[in-house]
Chains A and B, each alone.
Chain A
Amino acid sequence: MAVERKMQKTIIGFVPYQSPIYALHPLVRLVIFLVTGFIPLFVEIPEVNILFLIAIIGLFIYSKVDLKKLKMYMPMVFTVGLFIFVTYLFFPIAKGEKILLYQLGAVKLYYNSIMWATCIYFRIIALLFASIFYFSTNRERDMLIAFRSLKMPFVATYFLGLSLRATGIFMEDYQIIREAEQARGLDVSDLSFVGKIKHFSMYMIPLFTLSIRRCEEISVGLYSKGTVISNKIDGRKRPDYLMSKNPVTQKDIFYSAAIVLFFLAFCSLQVFGGVFSLDNSPINIAILKLLKGG
């Protein structure tokens, strides 16, 4: 039906149809992703990671990503949190001086654990949003262009592309199979967790049946187009239409280099100066003062 949609579906999620970030070459976008993905690993201070998170959300808004689509990642945000806090609760780490807050039988609740869990949690969430941002602003072809710009060989990017395509078909089939099973009286909500896993293994039969039949068609199709999966054709370098349409300009290289330099500078602050260690967290310092003082 004729409803105007702002977001376009990809295999992994949604991307906006129009976005100012598309002005950047896919290579630059990949570099931004790698950098934003690594920065949280060098930052222990939760406040800084929260600021970083806000910056990423700013980027989302700037890129016109529909924030409603981010709702689907919310369960992940909570599960990760739960998992991390429970882990640190039961397996407290022994870093620095332990401050016992509360004891219930054998379970001891240390302040350090909670603080460290918070720290790890915000690191992971920041990292998670950096990746979501990448997949919300890059279509599969952008990823391929970026990889080819990095001079990855054609054969490798070709298979990457083909497998992305296959994943798409696979997921469409999966959806239909689930419906077909429901049509035969299966109520998924009735099943236990183990039952669900068992069921998933049952889907493998039709999924592989379909894949095997498709594989043959795809390979015959490729063969009949005279496909040459090689970097060279007739002894010459393979023409690359996609890259010729999206050439890497000096401006792109300059941007990428600038971003990388910034990243290196940022990292060295932590590696050599320890600027972003937990010990420097204002909140941590304040709470510790309170606890020790009291």
Chain B
Amino acid sequence: MNAIEISGLNWKYSGKDQPALKDINLSICENTFVGIIGSNESGKTTLVSCIKGLIPENYSGVYKGEVKLFGKSIKECSTVDIARTVGMVFSDPDAQFTSMSVEEEIAFGLENMGLPVSEIKERIEWVSRLTSIESLLEKPPYDLSGGQKQRIAIASIIAMKPRIIILDEPTSMLDPFAKDNIFSLLQTMKRELKVTIIVVEHNIEKIAELADQIILVSDGRVEKIGESQGFFDDIEFIESHSVKVPEAIKFIQRLYKEKGLCGSAPVRFDEIKKAAEELLGK
């Protein structure tokens, strides 16, 4: 089943001359891990805001086309329905943390769903184990690092058990160690949860590692959509949209070409290494 179906979507923020999204058509299967890449201001965030229903609900502008979640148009869904179907994590860890302790932060979303206290308790236990934040539950926000806050923001969304989780540049404000931590959490989510995950990210290396499917957005259009292996075959095309192809991928493609191999070169680091060893061994 398709988790998301977008057809003929156009969106222009009021007061802007140019539309932010132009004629978007795409469908995303249930339980896939999707990476959305593209330069700043290309429309990535606007696109996920449409999936989340923040557009047209919270912004004014001109909206054309349709977004369907699990076959149901978002126009027919109530805001509460959407909130429960689609969870969203933003990039600023501070702005997402509105309670005075981690536990309350996770409980808050669940209270809003009207769940009984016993269920809230169970979910907090489950999610804190899944995201390894058991030791943080009592802490106030100013005792946490940015990476920890982001981990909690993700946990509080997972606890609500949405069928789609969107993460909008979840690591852009974190240091590399914290970034790696968040990416390994995403790996865990991919493995453990039956959920569609959409990540907007600048870190192409990590997207190549994790995503089943990648979407390249540029100037309000979907320029390319496809599986991660083979996505970067046309380096020039990708880089012409201000997205840098990771150098290890470039290198293995170069090896493939020189050796006259057909088919797409791998994009995940371990596979690149293995392929390079085989090619160099010959």
Contact = CB atoms under 8 A, between A and B. Distances in A.
Indicate yes or no for A touching B, C-beta below 8 A.
yes
Nearest to A141: B100
A8 interface: yes
Interface stretch (B114-122, B176-184, B192-200, B259-267): B114-122
A10 B139 CA distance: 11
Contacts of A164: 100
B112 A226 contact: yes
Interface in A224-277: 224-228, 233-234, 236, 238-242, 244-245
Contacts, number: 113
A217 B111 contact: no
Interface stretch (B11-19, B25-33, B89-97): B89-97
A225 B83 contact: yes
24 contacts: A11-B142, A164-B100, A165-B99, A165-B100, A168-B142, A169-B94, A214-B94, A214-B95, A217-B92, A221-B90, A221-B95, A222-B98, A223-B58, A223-B79, A226-B79, A226-B109, A239-B117, A240-B111, A241-B103, A241-B117, A241-B121, A242-B103, A242-B107, A245-B103
B70 interface: no
Contacts of B280: none
A244 B58 CA distance: 34
The 7 closest A-B pairs by CB, nearest first: A226-B83, A241-B107, A217-B95, A233-B114, A141-B100, A244-B117, A140-B100
Interface string A6-31: 00111100000000000000000000
Q: For the complex, would chain B's binding face be called helix, strand, loop or mixed by DSSP majority? A: helix
Which range contains the number of A residues in contact with the other chain? 35 or more
Contacts of B115: 239
A144 B121 contact: no
Interface centre among A214, A228, A233, A241 (most CB of B within 10 A): A241
B111 A224 contact: no
Which range contains the number of B residues in contact with the other chain? 35 or more
Interface string B79-93: 110111011101010
